[in-house]
Structure formats: C-alpha cells, structure tokens
Amino acid sequence: MIDRRLLSLARSGRGAWVAVAALAVCGAGLAIGQAWSLSRLLDRAFLRGDGLAEVTPLLGALVLFSLLRAGASCGADLAAAGTAIRLKTALRDTLIDHLVALGPAYAQAQRTGELAATVVEGVEAVDAYLRQYLPQILLAALLPLCLLAVILPVDPLSALVLAATAPLLPLFTILIGRAAEALTRRQFGALSLLSAHFLDVLQGLTTLKLLRQSREQAEVIRRVGDAYRAATLQVLRVAFLTGLALELVATLSTAMVAVQVGLRLLYSRLGFQEAMFVLVLAPEFYLPLRGLGTRFHTGAAGVAAVERIFQVLAAPRPPAAAAPRAATPSSPAAPPALSIRDVQYAYDGARAALQGLTFDIPAGGTTAIVGPSGGGKSTLVYLLLRFLEPTSGEITIDGRSLPQIPIEDWRRQVAWVPQSPHLFPLSLAENLRIARPDATDEDLRLALARAELNELVSGLPAGLDSLIGERGARLSAGEAQRLAIARAFLRQAPFVIFDEATASLDPALEARLQSATESLMRGRTVLVVAHRLSTVYRADQIVVMQTGRAVERGSHAALWGAGGLYHRMLAPFMETV
C-alpha cells in the first residue's frame, strides 16, 4: 500500500532511503556469503572429512558475515528510524503551524479532541509507516531479486520455483489487505471519536453533573470505547489471518524448493554444496515478502491517519496568515483610525454574516457596537483581529488597507478583551505574560492593581507564581474577566477591543472598574461590543448592527430620541431603572 502523499513527504529524506536501499543490498550480499560459507563448511566437514584446522577459515567467514549482516540490518533500522523521526517532527510542526494559521474560526468548527488525536496519534501512525513499512518495501523489492540473481546460475530449476511462487505472497497480502484498509479507517475514526467525546465530557462535566447526565455520558463513552475495541479486534483478526496465510504460503513454497532439491540430491543430479546453498537461501528469499505482509497493517494505519492529516492541511489558510512579517515592528504612537467600507462575509460561502457593513471608527474615540444576536458583531471582531478575511469590501487603518499590514505588526497594535477569556493551566504570572512576555513582576502587579485584582494576588499562597488551574478553574468568572482586562492594561496597545468585557461582573464591581477602564481607554481607539447601557451611553459613537448591516449610527441621546431599533432594544432596560 503506497500513498502518494506519504511518498511526497518521504522524498525529503531520499538520502536516508538510498542508504537503507544500499544497506539492504549489502545485507543480501552478506546473506549470500553466510549461505556460501555454511554450505561450504558442511560439505568439507561432513562429506570430505576435513578437520577443524581446515574449516576454521570458513567458520571465521561465517561469523564475520553474520556480524556484518547484523550491523547492516541495524544500520538500515537506524537510518530509517532517524529519517522517520525527522519527517514525523516536520509533519507535526507543519500541521500545528497550519492549525495556528487557520485560527479560531476553523478550530471552533472542529472537535478539539479529534484534532488532538490527529496531531498526536495520527502523526505517530505516519511515523510507523515511514519507520517500518517503507523500509520493508525496499527490502521486499531488492533482497529477493539479489538472491534470485545468485541462485539462477547455481540451480535454474530452484530459481524458477522461487520466481513462480514469490508473487503469491504479495497477492494474498493485497487480497486480504483490502478488507484491512476499511477496518483500519474505521479504527482510526473510532479513536478520533472517542478522543473528541471524552474531552467534550471532561470540559462539560460541571454542566453534566448539574443536569444529572454524567452517567448517561459515561455510558456513551463506554459505547464509543466498545466500538473502538471492536474495530481494533477486527483489525487484529485480519492481521493474524494475513500472517497465517503468508506463513502458510511461504512454508509451502519453501517446501516445494526443498522437495525438488532433495530429490535431485538423492539421484545425484545436484551437488551437496549447491543444494545446501539453495536451501539456506530459500527462507531468506521469502522473508522480506513475509515481512511486507505483516507490516501491511502498519501501512494501512498510516494511510488512514494521513487522510485526516492532509484534510486539515488542505484547508485554505486565510490570506492574512500568508502576509510577510516585517523586519521591524511598526506600532504607531498615535491611536489608529479605522474605516470599514461595504464589508461582506459569508461562512462556508453560504451563510451571510455581514452584508455591506460600512462605518468609521474615529482615532482616539470610543465606538460601541450593539444589536440583536446574529447581527454580525462577533464576525466583525474576528475580521478586525484578522482571524477571518472579508469576502468583499475593505477595512483600512489610517488609510492603509488592513491586508497590507503584516499580521504580526497589526496584532501588536491590538488588545482584545473577549467575553470568555481563555486562561491556561499555568501560573498567574505566566497567564499575564502571554500579553507581554518581557513584562517584569512590577509591571504585572501594576496591571493587576489597575484591574482591581490586588486582593486576589494577596490571597494566593504563591502570589504571582500560583497556578490558576484548567481554564482558570481556581478563579471566579469575574476574576477571570478582570485578568483579561489586566492583560489589556499590560499590552499597552493603541487599539482596544472590548467584547462584552464586563459581562461577568456584578454592577458594584463594574462601577469600581469604571475608572480603570476609562484610564485604559484614554488616548486609544476603542471598540466596545456591549449590551449594558452603562457601557454604551458614554461612547462617542454607537453603531447598531442588524443582519450584518449598520442600520443606525450616532450618540446615545440621538439614537434614543430617534425611536428606532436602539430605542426598542433599550426600552425594557430603561423601564426597570
């Protein structure tokens, strides 16, 4: 089973494969030397009656050939293993880099556990393909031909039997292997499903416990695990069947060679040394073909994994990911002015999220985005962060088209405070330094103080070095949100995006943060995605979005007085005040 994509990957290590092929040919030559020295030794010792002194050189030659053959085999294994490790590492790095370039828009449409299984287990299956299956193909192609070329002048009839029976082993491998391919794909799919569902259950365990569904999901995991177990047993069953068939064919073929050699030896039509030489080489002739069959399932697993790997790699990168990185950062001192002109975006080329969105974000001012769910607010934020690129239209920064700015330079200019910040299972300091790796402890403490997190730090046993748990499990929702705000303080970017940054805060704490938030906004261009009146009415400009369009723009007073969508959205809130 040869996959063109894997062969293309293997070409970068062609030097090592040439070495493997050369060592395989050397191994064949040494096997021939072993057979010759052994047959000559037995002939002289038992038929001619030579003593130990006469056969000692042959014994030495036999030992030498054996040691050199072991060394050649070990060298081929090391060359294949080293190349497989290097190619595997390169493939995993390429896959991870591609996933990072695809961004959260792609990752959110996939199952995290399944992607993790592809990056880990899938790449390991490719490693086995490169380390075991490809070298065995080289051995199966070269070693039998070398042995056949040597046996042919010594005993043409045995060479004919070997040549006639050799194709039977690949034939049986292919016939049985067709079933193995489908089973291996099913096995890898079951493993991916098990990984994905198990991770989903772990991440949602709190919700499942509260809704009393944890036992039901545990049963689902058991069923998926049973499906994976059954698929694995089916693959093993076919593997054992393949091994049995190949051993049977190889044994019968060797027996055919042995019978006709023995009969001719009995009737003195073939010399003892020649007969012994052929009989020793006959099992060696079939050995690489048997090995190819037993490693066929390793190859099938690699092909099943590589299909998913290259499916991910085939996902087109956003144009932003291909933008060249500037040699020097170009972060402006002044806050930028943004202009959004007739921007459209459709998910999967069908579902329109933005339809001709047009408005300006003035430099140094605060623009609030409001609107009903599904209006395109999150899509707009992803476009500004360059996780997505517009289907049509243009976004400019100080008159310069956004795609013309190297993506790393642009993101240095942006601080993003999302609605649900992601916190890593690291220390408090490491989570903060994600925003600015060169920040000192004093910088961290200042940012935490401005985000009203002094009490949190003083209450932690190790201070800044305290671990905060998976997804910030040891923090409250409000503390996690304030940690994201502290990141924004630390980043010191001229453009700040607040995506419902105070959604998890109670009104009292939001009021305490108001002065700090205003300090963060001062002298910067700010975009606020919000629903609360307290975070909207102070904005210099409010843009109301609906069905991917900017349907209203203006100040709070002007929009309230107009009696449009903005008025209707805030009216229920105003009645409760």
Residue 3 has pLDDT above 70, yes or no: no
Mean pLDDT of 229-258: 84
Does 316 score more than 50 pLDDT? yes
**pLDDT at residue 559 tops 60:** yes
- Of 299 and 437, more confident: 437
Sequence-distant (≥ 6) Cβ neighbours of residue 120 within 8 angstroms? none
pLDDT band at 160 (very low <50, low <70, confident <90, very high): very high
Q: Is the pLDDT of residue 67 over 80?
A: yes
pLDDT exceeds 90 at position 339: yes
- Find how far residue 11's CA is from the centre of its chain: 21
Over residues 373-388, the mean pLDDT reads 87
Q: Which helix (H) or strand (E) holds 102?
A: helix 52-107
Residue type, 26: C
Cα 424 from Cα 471, distance rounded (Å): 5
| Complete domains list, the chain, with CATH | 4-317 (1.20.1560.10), 338-576 (3.40.50.300)
Q: Is the dihedral of CA 484, 485, 486, 492 positive or negative?
A: positive
d(CA 105, CA 170): 46
Output the CA–CA distances (angstroms, integers) from residue 258 to 166, 251, 286, 536, in the order listed.
15, 10, 13, 92
Give the pLDDT of residue 319.
61
Query: What is the rounded distance in angstroms from the CA atom of residue 333 to the CA atom of residue 358?
Result: 26
Is 515 or 133 the better-scoring residue by pLDDT?
133
The pTM for the full model equals 0.72
Pick from 175-189, 471-485, 545-559: least confident: 175-189
The Cα–Cα gap between 235 and 182 comes to 9
User: Taking Cα atoms as reference points, which of 498, 496, 495 lies closest to residue 418?
Assistant: 498
